Amino acid sequence: MARATRTTSSPSPAAPAGGAAPVIPARGLRKQYGDFHAVQGIDLEVRPGECFGLLGPNGAGKSTAMRMLAGTSQRTGGELRILGIDPEEDGPAVRARLGVVPQQDNLDEDLTARENILIYGRYFGLPYSCLRPKAEELLAFAQLTDKADAKVTDLSGGMKRRLVIARALVNEPALFLLDEPTTGLDPQARHILWDRLYRLKEHADTLQQDLARLVAEGHVTAPVTQLTRRASLEDVFLILTGRTLVD
Ligand code: ADP
């Protein structure tokens, strides 16, 4: 049975200033494959600026839930909004605003690292004049500048994961979904990847602070909430599920 667990740790989320609407409200989210219940009623509420994790042993339904959140799998039941949109009513509008890092790398192996970012950006209709500098920026962020012209087949596992993350940022997503981003990586590759993700979170926090300042100065009226997470997901997993990590 799948269940969702809020993994954001102390400090607990402050009451959202001005009642910021959740970017993901989900109630009783369900998914059945035939008679099999893969996800049995998940309630989620993820607010702007929050880092939110789904925890559970293998087969619990995390990837299935992620696919519903990403607008690539229809729910069997329950209510779901992503950035204010029901993915079943307008999946393309939802997907245009998301960055998705799937569990399995789905890079185009015939292309170079740079080309993977450029072509992916074209799916969002972005012009090459924007994409070219963006690709360089993302390659630098992913520490892949010196691998820009390398074919995907020549990249290590950690490099491929970083490239998938860089590629998923090409449309400057409002919501970033990652499905087990470090699975299968050695400790050093995992460390580099988490470092990149923390930087991303810091960047998002900076944007939140800028927005909060603009609100405080009366320039904009958008509601703002912010939360800092400091916890090892593996520790939280073991505490909450009482299980050892299994394959
Ligand atoms: P997790 O990501 O937590 O490991 P999954 O969401 O991948 O779990 O899978 C949850 C359950 O749903 C598993 O028992 C899996 O076999 C089943 N499942 C996932 N996708 C399908 C599918 N397309 N058809 C049938 N069963 C599926």
Mean pLDDT computed over every residue of the chain? 83
- Residues 48 and 151 grouped into a single domain: no
Task: Look at ligand 1, atom 21, and give the residue with the nearest C-alpha.
Answer: 33
**pLDDT in the model for residue 186:** 85
**pLDDT in the model for residue 184:** 80
Task: Look at ligand 1, atom 6, and give the residue with the nearest C-alpha.
Answer: 61
Any domain includes 79: yes
- Model confidence over 53-77: pLDDT tens digits? 888 888 999 999 999 999 999 999 9
* Lowest-pLDDT choice from 82-91, 164-173, 225-234: 225-234
Domain at 184, CATH number: 3.40.50.300
Any domain includes 17: no
Range of the domain at 35: 22-95
Distance 67 CA to ligand 1 centre (A): 11
Which range, 169-183, 188-202, 226-240, has the best average confidence (pLDDT)? 169-183
Any domain includes 222: no
Any domain includes 65: yes
Nearest to 155 by CA among 113, 197, 102: 113
Confidence of residue 18 (pLDDT cuts 50, 70, 90): very low
- Residues 90 and 110 grouped into a single domain: no
Domain boundary among 79, 95, 111: 95
- Model confidence over 190-227: pLDDT tens digits? 888 888 888 888 887 787 777 677 777 776 557 443 33
- Residues 81 and 104 grouped into a single domain: no
Distance 61 CA to ligand 1 centre (A): 6
**pLDDT in the model for residue 214:** 73
Mean pLDDT for 103-116 is: 94
Other CB atoms within a 10 A radius of the CB of residue 240 amount to: 14
Distance 37 CA to ligand 1 centre (A): 9
**H helix or E strand, kind and range, residue 211:** helix 187-216
**pLDDT in the model for residue 6:** 46
Work out which ligand 1 atom sits closest to the CA atom of 179: 2
Domain boundary among 33, 68, 95: 95
Pocket of ligand 1 (CB under 6 A): 33, 36, 38, 56, 58-64
Mean pLDDT for 159-186 is: 91
- Residues 204 and 119 grouped into a single domain: yes
Is the whole model's pTM more than 0.75, yes or no? yes
Any domain includes 240: no
Domain boundary among 47, 76, 95: 95
The number of folded domains in the chain is 2
- Residues 116 and 158 grouped into a single domain: yes
Work out which ligand 1 atom sits closest to the CA atom of 180: 2
Any domain includes 205: yes
* Lowest-pLDDT choice from 42-56, 105-119, 130-144: 42-56
